[in-house]
Structure 1
């Protein structure tokens, strides 16, 4: 049944991945170069702006957006697998791995930029990055409630 608690958590994963795709993930305001350049990472691009706010260069980071979209799609598929709780838990575990890969991809991308520009500060992670972590927690909670449902069904079968 779709009206279970884990459905709410899985829907939160879908929403969080949508926010991740739509919002900035990371921002480096001041670099060591003294020019006032800033860097902004979104789910699909890494942009370099000068002090006046003009775009200097942009590079595609499509893999971050693709991983976020795939994690949202897996959560959406998992919602409709309520008849097979084992498959639902398997999809959620795969989704956890995709989200860990997403965090690693963002982290490696930001560290690579900081190294390339010789930044003294690490920059700030924005709302798009933190929603990935919210999605991971919601996914773990959904798996917990799916396991509770499975244990309840097994205990009822044992009584019969």
Structure 2
């Protein structure tokens, strides 16, 4: 059952939190150095947990209810990560010596949240379909 649409959404969420942060900087420092997520341990832990939840959710395709709960937890985790990014960007303006330009990497949690919401929607649709078929028996 790995060919379901929610697996594609979960894999794309895995890519947004597990692969892309290595290549897309969160912001650029004033000396033109890219600030990747690896420079802050909190970001590493949150991105790692989000990636792990996505993988676990893909693997547990037989247990749709657990998959749905893991998707919800992953959404909450990405909201926390997004909140940390917004807090950091609001505390440091664009013209301070520490940060000169915000990067596109700060929007990776938003992409992951949208993909996880779509995956949860598809999981719910599958669960409703299974319940309706069980009702007919």
Same structural fold, with TM-score higher than 0.5 when normalized by the shorter chain: yes
Q: After TM superposition, what 4+ stretches of structure 1 lie above 4 angstroms from structure 2?
A: 37-40
Distance 1:123 1:156 in 2: 57
Q: RMSD of the alignment, in Å?
A: 2.4
Instruction: Provide the residue aligned with 1:2 in structure 2.
Output: 2
Q: What is the CA-CA distance between 1:44 and the residue it aligns to?
A: 2.1
Q: Check 1:110–1:19 CA distance in 2 against 1; reply closer, same or farther (3 A cut).
A: same
Distance 1:124 1:143 in 2: 34
Superposed, 1:16-35 pairs within 5 Å as 16-17=16-17, 18-27=19-28, 29=30
Instruction: Provide the residue aligned with 2:52 in structure 1.
Output: 73
TM-score, with structure 1 as normaliser? 0.75
Q: What secondary structure does 2:28 align onto?
A: strand
Structure 1 unmatched ranges of 5 or more = 30-36, 46-60
1:96 to 57, 75, 78: 75
2:111 to 131, 134, 147: 134
Return 104-113 or 142-151, whichever deviates more. 104-113
Distance 2:22 2:47 in 1: 7
Quick check: 1:42 aligned with 2:36?
yes
Structure 2 unmatched ranges of 5 or more = none
Distance 1:155 1:144 in 2: 17
Aligned residue-pair number = 136
Q: Check 1:111–1:40 CA distance in 2 against 1; reply closer, same or farther (3 A cut).
A: farther
Instruction: Provide the residue aligned with 2:125 in structure 1.
Output: 148
